[in-house]
């Protein structure tokens, strides 16, 4: 801490920790982030009077070993989350920033009554989802407005010839030029055109700033002394912070870059000048380090038009990450970063070659695994840019537990309309109605190849949007065979639409997973079971979890299994309201000549081991008579069991 703390005040803090709020802002910018571990903290005691590094103090506060009951609030970029023990925190909150509506409002306010310029800026941003998605970060919104306004102003209202940037690197390149042009004495009273070249003296200043920016990132420093920024302050890229008091009469001046992203861009500008071989090593060595990831992305953009070893290293890193057998989080995040790099590099020939090489690699089995990688709508633009070149390969896109939102779904529709994956896994992605409706529209195009869709736990989707999805199953162009709607709002209306679609001649659905709602009744189960009896219903696998399935519900399923039109070969029911009373009906159903089951799972706390053995014996006997071999439920999975296995699971209640 700077300065001295009064003993009385210090004791007051120790005596009343519950009244204290400690804020650690910008943890990802902390130079000793890697030391914020329990093992490091264990090297020090728990006395409030003991001196220890900030990293150890931080961990002990989170553990409650210092100032128990204190409230600790920490902010950091999502990329640094994997470096922090999330279990220490009671809750994790994402700052969403500007909504699209607020970004539009900001543009209008920034232009201060200049409706023509505001309209041109918004037309460009709203027409480019990549830039629009970046507007959720307020500083990006300001930089876009700052730069685009100056580009647009010189052109008359009826002229649309101004070429506006569409890549993040291009925007920052232009913004940097504008900052220098606005503040440096060399350009005073000269009109800004956006293509001015810098003199050798200005380039030297920017090079010095780039070296300082790189050193700051490497050392985890955002603040610099006056001596370090000598002769660099006239470019508009640095801001002076309040002086620090060294003594009653002595003060020290401090500076920082106007924003961390500008520091990262300046560092990238300098690093991109390295020898190609050295630059390749830099990218490969730092690709998994969160503090360098945006820098590397900027480097790729700055290398546009150049054919260097550095770009080859980006392609190699992408391939290595996607081919990794472990699919660890660092390798998945690296794959995402490399896709963003290729997008910024913006060279069709290179991305086509990268996709072609991946397709031809014998170790690539069609799985693009980007789950739990903090994928945002901005990232989806880069993902689509790369994957559209993988066509016509049949592949699986796994994006579980990310932040796609509606914007990300709208980007993915560009991929689906050109073929896209055969399987899309997007549980827990903050998708709402507009995102789902956009996906449905794309799924029903003739060119879309999607057969399997997993929407689990996107709880903001309303029943109205789910009904639209269910109705779309009746379209001849819809090719969905597998659908997982677990954890969604499956109301009576939604189930009605689903059942009507399952009975439609165009519906191709064969595998369905549901997690039923609390308000489901035996009558709704009956409605579903009646659908299973319909000649047009193609379902062969049904998984239903929830605790509203009763013995009466099991009876309805048994009736369906005995129907000649029921095609179920696999049934999985989870409910603790199912008891042994339901088993005689199951005995009868599985022995019925019309029953086609080869796999049955009943998960209930109320079925004992003896009942389990009895039903297993009946199932085995019935299958022996039918001489039926189980079908493989997931052709793309590693499961390939040749021996018949049937079971009723007794879920032990601990």
* Angle at CA of residue 24, ends 19 and 27, nearest 5°: 155
Determine the Cα–Cα distance for residues 238 and 247; give it in Å rounded to an integer.
26
Greatest Cα pair distance, the chain, in angstroms, is 98
Q: Where residue 534 sits, what CATH number does that domain have?
A: 3.80.10.10
User: Rounded distance, CA 246 to CA 313, Å?
Assistant: 47
Parent domain of 592: 510-624
Question: Do 539 and 603 sit in the same domain of this protein?
Answer: yes
Residues 276, 307: Cα–Cα separation, whole Å: 10
Q: Assess contact for 567 and 596: CB atoms under 8 A.
A: yes
In a domain, 217, yes or no: no
CB 255 within 8 A of CB 240: yes
Q: What's the DSSP call for residue 645? A: -
Convert the pLDDT of each residue in 508-529 to its tens digit: 999 999 987 777 889 999 999 9
Alpha-carbon distance 36 to 34, whole Å? 6
- Tokens found for residue 519: 């308000």
Indicate the pairing of strand 482-484 with strand 452-454.
parallel
Q: What is the 3-state secondary structure (H, E, C) of 480-495?
A: CCEEECCCCCCCHHHH
Same domain, 132 and 64: no
pLDDT digits (tens, 9 = 90+) for 197-219: 888 999 999 999 999 999 999 99
Residues 82 and 140 in one domain: no
Q: Is residue 114 part of a domain?
A: yes
Domain boundary residue, one of 116, 132, 166: 166
Pick the closest to residue 301 from 163, 144, 168, 131 (CA basis).
168
Does residue 652 sit within a domain? no
Query: Would you state the pLDDT for residue 645?
Result: 36
Q: Which of 31, 61, 88 is the last residue of a domain?
A: 88
Q: How far is Cα 116 from Cα 118, in angstroms, rounded to an integer?
A: 6
> What is the H or E stretch that residue 605 is in?
none
- Give the pLDDT confidence score for residue 296 in this predicted structure: 97
Q: What angle do CA 551, 554, 560 make, to 5 degrees?
A: 150
Question: Is the predicted pLDDT of residue 1 greater than 50, yes or no?
Answer: no
DSSP conformational letter for 198: P
Same domain? For 108 and 77 the reply is no
Q: Note whether 521 and 607 are same-domain residues.
A: yes
Answer yes or no: is 568 within a domain. yes
Q: How far is CA 331 from CA 78, 195, 314, 370, 648, in A?
A: 16, 39, 13, 9, 38
Same domain, 522 and 599: yes
Whether 619 and 514 share a structural domain: yes
Nearest one of 614, 604, 464, 473 to 536, comparing CA atoms: 473
Residues 216-242 have pLDDT tens digits of 999 989 999 999 999 898 888 999 988
Confirm whether 608 is domain-assigned. Answer: yes
Of the pLDDT bands very low, low, confident and very high (cuts 50, 70, 90), residue 302 is very high
Q: How many domains does the chain have?
A: 3
3-state secondary structure (DSSP) of residue 131: helix
Token pair for residue 60?
Answer: 């002990």
pLDDT in tens, 22-52: 998 888 778 787 778 888 888 898 888 888 8
Q: Are residues 38 and 139 in the same domain?
A: no
Q: How far apart (Å, rounded) are the C-alpha atoms in residues 429 and 376?
A: 9
Count Cβ atoms below 10 Å from residue 583 Cβ, excluding itself. Answer: 20
Task: Say whether both 611 and 530 belong to one domain.
Answer: yes
Helix ranges (DSSP H) in 444-521: 463-472, 492-502
Edge-first strand listing for the sheet containing 396-398:
367-369, 396-398, 423-425, 452-454, 482-484, 511-515, 541-545, 570-574, 599-603
Q: Helical H runs in 220-308? A: 260-271, 276-286, 290-302
Exposure string over 168-182, b if 16+ CB within 10 A, otherwise e: bbbbbbbbbbbbbbe
Whether a cis peptide bond, with omega within 30° of 0, leads into 188 is no
Give dist(CA 632, CA 639) in Å, integer.
8
Q: What is the pLDDT of residues 451-481, one digit of tens each?
A: 999 999 999 999 999 999 999 999 999 999 9
Query: Do residues 548 and 573 lie in contact, with contact meaning Cβ atoms separated by under 8 Å?
Result: no
The rounded percent of the chain whose pLDDT value lies above 70 is: 92
Region of 607 (left: φ > 0; alpha: ψ -120 to 50; beta: rest) is beta
Q: Are 580 and 551 in the same domain?
A: yes
Identify the pLDDT of residue 527.
96
Average pLDDT on 179-196 reads: 80
DSSP states of 542-575:
EEEESTT--HHHHHHHHHHHTSTT---SEEEEE-
Give backbone dihedrals phi and psi of 422, rounded to 5 degrees, phi first: -90, -15
pLDDT value, residue 646: 42
Report residue 541: phi and psi, to 5°: -135, 130
Question: Left if phi > 0, otherwise alpha if psi is -120 to 50, otherwise beta: which for 581?
Answer: alpha
- Is 576 inside a domain boundary? yes
pLDDT tens digit sequence for 306-336: 988 999 999 999 999 999 887 888 999 999 9
| Residue 194 banded pLDDT, cuts 50, 70, 90 | low
3-state secondary structure of 515: strand
Which DSSP letter does residue 463 get? Answer: H
Let me know: does 440 contact 466? Beta carbons within 8 Å. no
Instruction: Tell whether 332 is covered by a domain.
Output: no
| Mean pLDDT value across the chain | 87
Residues 83 and 145 in one domain: no
- Cα 177 to Cα 139, 169, 199, 294, 346, distances in angstroms: 17, 12, 12, 19, 21
Q: Report d(CA 399, CA 425) in Å as an integer.
A: 6
What's the pLDDT at 502? 98
Local structure of 5: helix, strand or coil: coil
Range 510-520 burial, b when 16+ CB lie within 10 A, else e: bbbbbbbbeeb
Q: For residue range 81-96, list pLDDT tens digits in order.
A: 666 665 678 887 877 6
Give pLDDT, residue 307.
87
**Cβ atoms of residues 552 and 580 within 8 Å:** no
For residues 318-345, one letter each, b for 16 or more C-beta atoms within 10 angstroms of the residue's C-beta and e for the rest, the string is bbebbbbeebeebbbbbbbbbbbbbbbb
- Is 50 exceeded by the pLDDT of residue 649? no
Q: What does pTM read for this prediction?
A: 0.83
Among 565, 566, 529, smallest CA distance to 549 is for: 529
Give which of 335, 317, 329, 318 is closest to 280, Cα–Cα.
317
pLDDT value at 484 more than 50: yes
User: Is 144 within a domain?
Assistant: yes
The neighbour count for residue 470, using CB atoms within 10 Å, is 26
Considering the domain architecture, whether residues 63 and 160 belong to the same structural domain is answered as no
Nearest CA among 472, 509, 463 for reference residue 490: 463
> Three-state SS across 340-390?
HHHHHHCCHHHHHHHHHHHHHCCCCCCEEECCCCCCCHHHHHHHHHHHCCC
Question: How does residue 629 score in pLDDT terms, banded at 50, 70 and 90?
Answer: very low
Alpha-carbon span 337 to 333, nearest angstrom: 6
């Amino acid at each position: 801490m700077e300065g001295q703390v009064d003993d009385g005040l210090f004791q007051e803090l120790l005596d009343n920790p519950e009244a204290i709020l400690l804020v650690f802002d910008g943890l990802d910018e902390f130079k000793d982030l890697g030391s914020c571990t329990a093992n490091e903290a264990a090297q020090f005691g728990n006395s409030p009077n003991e001196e220890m590094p900030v990293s150890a103090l931080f961990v002990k506060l989170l553990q409650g070993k210092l100032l128990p009951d204190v409230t600790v609030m920490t902010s950091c970029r999502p990329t640094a989350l994997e470096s922090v023990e999330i279990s220490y925190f009671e809750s994790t909150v994402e700052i969403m920033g500007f909504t699209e509506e607020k970004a539009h409002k900001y543009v209008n306010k920034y232009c201060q009554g200049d409706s023509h310029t505001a309209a041109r800026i918004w037309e460009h941003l709203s027409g480019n989802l990549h830039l629009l998605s970046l507007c959720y970060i307020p500083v990006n919104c300001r930089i876009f407005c700052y730069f685009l306004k100056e580009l647009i102003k010189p052109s008359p209202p009826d002229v649309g010839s101004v070429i506006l940037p569409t890549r993040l690197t291009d925007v920052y390149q232009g913004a940097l030029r504008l900052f220098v042009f606005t503040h440096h004495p060399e350009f005073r009273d000269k009109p800004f055109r956006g293509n001015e070249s810098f003199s050798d003296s200005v380039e030297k200043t920017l090079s010095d700033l780039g070296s300082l920016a790189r050193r700051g990132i490497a050392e985890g420093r955002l603040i610099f002394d006056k001596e370090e920024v000598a002769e660099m302050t006239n470019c508009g890229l640095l801001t002076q912070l309040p002086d620090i008091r060294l003594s009653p009469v002595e003060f020290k001046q401090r500076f920082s870059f106007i924003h961390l992203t500008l520091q990262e861009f300046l560092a990238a500008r300098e690093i991109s000048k390295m020898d190609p071989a050295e630059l390749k090593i830099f990218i490969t060595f730092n690709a998994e380090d969160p503090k360098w990831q945006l820098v590397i992305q900027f480097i790729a953009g700055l290398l546009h038009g150049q054919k260097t070893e550095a770009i080859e290293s980006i392609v190699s890193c992408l391939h290595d990450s996607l081919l990794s057998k472990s699919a660890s989080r660092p390798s998945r995040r690296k794959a995402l970063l490399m896709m963003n790099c290729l997008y910024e590099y913006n060279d069709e020939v290179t991305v086509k070659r990268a996709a072609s090489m991946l397709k031809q690699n014998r170790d690539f089995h069609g799985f693009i695994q980007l789950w739990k990688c903090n994928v945002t709508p901005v990232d989806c633009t880069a993902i689509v840019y790369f994957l559209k070149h993988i066509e016509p390969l049949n592949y699986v896109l796994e994006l579980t537990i990310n932040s796609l939102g509606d914007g990300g779904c709208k980007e993915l529709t560009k991929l689906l309309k050109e073929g896209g994956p055969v399987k899309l896994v997007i549980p827990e992605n903050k998708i709402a109605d507009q995102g789902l409706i956009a996906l449905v529209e794309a799924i029903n195009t003739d060119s879309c190849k999607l057969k399997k869709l997993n929407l689990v736990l996107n709880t903001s989707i309303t029943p109205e949007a789910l009904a639209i999805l269910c109705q779309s199953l009746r379209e001849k162009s819809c090719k969905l065979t597998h659908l997982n709607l677990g954890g969604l709002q499956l109301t009576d209306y939604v189930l009605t639409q689903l059942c009507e679609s399952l009975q439609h001649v165009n519906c191709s659905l064969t595998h369905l997973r549901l997690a039923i709602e609390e308000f489901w009744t035996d009558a709704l189960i009956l409605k579903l079971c009646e659908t299973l009896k319909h000649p047009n219903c193609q379902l062969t696998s049904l998984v239903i979890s929830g605790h509203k399935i009763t013995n009466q519900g099991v009876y309805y399923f048994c009736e369906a299994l005995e129907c000649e039109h029921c095609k179920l070969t696999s049934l999985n029911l989870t409910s603790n309201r199912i008891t042994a009373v339901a088993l005689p009906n199951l005995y009868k159903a599985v022995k019925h000549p019309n029953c086609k089951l080869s796999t049955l799972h009943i998960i209930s706390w109320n079925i004992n081991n003896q009942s389990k053995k009895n039903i297993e014996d009946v199932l085995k006997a019935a299958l022996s008579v039918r001489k039926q071999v189980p079908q493989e439920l997931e052709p793309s999975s590693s499961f390939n069991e040749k021996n018949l296995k049937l079971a009723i699971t007794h879920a032990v209640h601990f």
